Amino acid sequence: MRLKLLFLLLLISINVFSQIPELIFHSGFEPNTYVITAGGDIKGLDNSVSPPNDWVYDLETHPNIGNFSIFYQGGDETMRFARIIQDPTDPTNKVLHYWLKHPNVEGTKGRIQADIYENNNLYEFSQKVRIYLPNDWNIIKNAVGGTVGWLTIMEFWNNAGWTSEGNRFRMTLGIHKNDPLSSDLTFNLSADTKPADIWITYWNESDTTFSIPVEQWMTVEIYFKEGNASNGRFVLAVTPDGGVKQIIFDVTDFTYHPDDTSPDGMKHYNPMKLYTSDNVIDYVRNKGGVLQLYWDDFELWKDTNITLSTSENENLKGIFYFDVLR
């Protein structure tokens, strides 16, 4: 009887821990990494971190990853660019800088985005990246009477709207200003389907508890698991420098199109994005600023398991910890 029990426990252990988290790639954008302006790409080997740390030979040759590139929507470098530059808060550190001064040549919107496209069997993954909103974002915060309902910083396509996959479905993480009388910037997470020519909201989560800091680095972590209304999962956690980690969203719902009978993982996604309307871009510029974002310390993990637990510190009651089991 004891041997049977031990064998059963062994089988349970193997089943629970069969998926071992794997670091696909990481980089801090340090020297030896560089943006190819003409080709819209990042290349090089980041010696500040251990392998896998080569933007081409590690990231783009991984069996689950297709290709990486940086995409702009029209315009030229007087209007928008992505560059690796000195950290505005630390001259010894390098960061990826998105700078968006004018909308595209059609004049309706502007976009800078990193693309990780044509992926294979990417069913469960997590991403970690640091984000810094410079002083220009105070122009949006202080826009009395104004709101921002479209400003995307990450997007997840399962399936994409521009391919022939069908069953088009996307999840969008954005920074919004929902209250015209408040200066709070908050996160919004939504999922949309596209049965015809327009996107239709399938589920939407709008946070009111966390005011996104300006001129302060924060670490943003996401966890994605492809699944249906019972086992699909999308988690967003944020840790401001010097603060505690907070769970902003923990969604259990479809993370692929509900009509898709054979979902095949996250084939396309934008891990770092700055995409909004001409109204927002023009407003910031006309007030003397430029819409811009800084990114640092990017990590991508496959088959990541997570645990969520409340803090034992009474002063932090209600705050959750997002622990990636790596």
Give domain status of residue 15, yes or no: no
For residues 225 and 250, the answer to whether their CB atoms sit within 8 Å is no
Residue 191 lies in a domain: yes
Question: What is the C-alpha separation between 162 and 40, in angstroms, rounded?
Answer: 19
Residue 1 domain-assigned (yes or no): no
Per the CB < 8 A criterion, the answer to whether 107 and 79 are in contact is: no
Q: Nearest CA to 127 among 23, 206, 41? A: 23
Q: Does residue 82 lie in a domain region?
A: yes
Domain that holds residue 253: 21-325
What average pLDDT values come out for the chain (326 residues) when binned by 10 residues?
A: 45 47 97 86 96 97 97 92 97 97 90 97 97 98 90 97 92 96 95 92 97 98 97 97 96 97 97 97 97 98 72 35 43
Our count of domains for the chain comes to 1
Judge whether 137 and 100 are in contact, CB under 8 Å: no
- Is 3 part of any domain? no
102 lies in a domain?
Answer: yes
Measured distance CA(219)–CA(311) in Å, rounded: 19
The answer to whether residue 14 sits within a structural domain is no
12 falls within a domain: no
CATH code, domain carrying 142: 2.60.120.200
Give pTM, 2 decimals: 0.90
